[in-house]
A and B are shown apart, each in its own frame.
Chain A
Amino acid sequence: MRRSGRSLVLHVVLGAGLVLTVMPLLWMASASLMPAGEANTFPPRLWPSRATFEHYVALFTRLDLARHLMNSAIVAVGATLISIVVNGMAGYAFAKLRFGPRDRLFRVLLAALVIPGQVGMLPLFLMLQKIGLVNTLVGAMIPGLAPIFSIFMVRQYALGIPDELLDAARIDGASELRIYWTIVMPLLKPILATLATFTFLTMWNDFMWPLIVLSDDRNYTLPVALANLVGEHVQDTELMMAGSVLTVLPVMIVFVALQRAYIRGVTMGAIKG
């Protein structure tokens, strides 16, 4: 085949892939604007006969989705802030500070990566129940606070900080905490941005743990509220699509804004793995 012919075929295939990829999301957005009942017709409609925001209004008035939006934001932002502070410091220390069992400790952590999260979920639930964190947003944050992979990610990046820089500051009499704050943190900014994006998206999208730990529907995060809602409103396709748009939109915005940081994280895991 000639080069131009091959190129044509290639772009047709890619274009088809593009359509298949965005179709479900476009239909979600389109159906969310349809008048009630219009998404359940045959043949299926691709566009609303007239766009209406009634389902979004219903979500915020009748169904109080603003509360769940808020819960999700608190869980995702809270876990992200704590994660940056805690894992930033730990990752740096594992890369650059000398202390007795450092390397052995780090190997133990890496080995623990093979343990799937579900193994600890049941006892964690019982423990949190004892200390009163079941059915709280803090309880929902817990899996995002110090995942071992986050420490690993920061450590790999921090290995690239030159020791001379740190030693020079030490000779000047700066304390380790001050060195971290004034010298290391600015250098770690890119990886901390990656960590923040990762944590935020993971926590926003998380389902199983919040489903377990949040029992009162006032405290549900968006995904849990949505899964609950579909049980009662399965016939209200347009309403459910509006709820889905509302759940997906914030992460899409964060992703578009911080795309570079996120993608660095995706490929970083692979290079080391």
Chain B
Amino acid sequence: MSRARSQGRAAWLFVGPALGLIGVFFALPVIAGLVLSLTDFDLYAIGDVRNARFVGLGNYARVLGAQEFWNAAGNTFYFVIVGGPLSVLASLVAALLVSSRLTRFQALFRSVFFVPVVTTLVAVSIVWRYLYHPHYGLVDWALGGIGIPPIDWLGDPRWAKPAIILLAVWKNFGYNMLIFVAGLQSIPDELYEAADLDGAGWWPRFRHITAPGLGPTFLFVGLMTMLGQFQLFAEPYVMTQGGPLQSTTTIVLMMYQQGFRWWRMGMAAAIAFVLFVIMLIGTAVQLRLQRGSQA
């Protein structure tokens, strides 16, 4: 009995520091954020908190009524809906190629494909900014080689989003590739051997063995990729500052600008919570879609 009690006391000692840090630097700010989003906290309130007034749901009404917000939301959805699946697809293809029984130097390919993942996002965003240069960039030069006229990737509102997606896919596909590779390794070899005996081709094997075997992996990768795309920030910040013509301003970038450039903290907090709700809805939708497709 006393041993159990001393274990209990020790346990609190062990979890205490972590819970304390989470409580003070995470839980408390989240709750405070909710309160903040109900006030008109701005530059004057930073000087003296008494200048902040309670405005109820006023910030939410203003955010949801603002053209600017729906533009940012539209851009964010574009990144989620186009960039997300593209990124997952690239990872899956890479994983299948790398793990093929015919592939030699598997470890080498896996490691090299993973390298962009560990690089610093800000640094590679700057590198790609130059790669996309309409006169001197390697991208347009390579495309010119196959007869495609130069594209002003980051200066043309039609191309800025695809340009950022391309960078994000390049940067991230290695991460999900590794997860898919682990998923592929968990599929028993006997299933493929049986399919070989039946003389099944590539597509039936993929459709009836690989795809179902990867089901849970798909769910995880899809979800994580989507949540990451919802929070896109550094790429547009460094490459386009949200331009041209606000075509790459994401919700998080807008939150940052409202909160830390214009010091409209109440407004920015409301944007953060709207994003949170959107992400929850996105998660629910994706879980339902994927459960449905597996059933």
Contact = CB atoms under 8 A, between A and B. Distances in A.
Interface string A22-50: 11110110010000000111111000000
Contacts of B178: 263, 266-267
A14 interface: yes
A89 interface: yes
Q: Chain B contact residues (Cβ within 8 angstroms of A): what range?
A: 35 or more
Q: Which of A97, A118, A127, A208 has the most CB of B within 10 A?
A: A118
B164 interface: no
A104 interface: no
Contacts of B46: 126, 129
Contact of A10 (B102, B220, B272, B279): B102
A252 B122 contact: no
B98 A146 contact: no
A22 B7 CA distance: 52
B124 to A, nearest CB: 7
A151 B131 CA distance: 40
Contacts, number: 276
Interface string B1-45: 001101110111111011101100111111011001000000000
Contacts of B141: 42-44
A98 B27 CA distance: 24
16 contacts: A17-B97, A18-B112, A23-B138, A109-B22, A116-B272, A116-B275, A126-B36, A127-B32, A207-B122, A226-B122, A243-B123, A255-B118, A262-B118, A266-B178, A270-B182, A273-B216
Contacts of A40: 133, 135-136
Contact of B182 (A175, A222, A271): A271
B220 A273 contact: yes
Q: Is the interface of A mostly helix, strand, loop or mixed?
A: helix
Nearest to A120: B29
A205 interface: yes
Interface string A90-132: 1011100111101001000100101110111111111101000
A123 B15 contact: no
A201 B136 contact: no
Interface residues of A, number: 97
Contacts of B137: 44
Interface in B92-131: 94, 97-98, 100, 102-104, 109, 111-116, 118-124, 126-131
A237 B121 CA distance: 17
Contact of A25 (B18, B116, B220): B116
B30 A89 contact: no
A119 B268 CA distance: 9
Given A14-B98, A94-B15, A222 B120 contact: yes
Interface in A148-191: 148, 151, 170, 175-177, 180
A125 B123 CA distance: 25
Interface in B173-223: 174-175, 178-179, 182-183, 216-217, 219-221, 223
B109 A24 contact: no
A78 to B, nearest CB: 14
Given A14-B103, A116-B276, A122-B259, A266 B8 contact: no
Interface string B243-279: 0000000001001100110000100110011011001
A204 B33 CA distance: 26
A175 B14 CA distance: 13
A114 B19 CA distance: 17
A3 B102 contact: yes
B8 A100 contact: yes
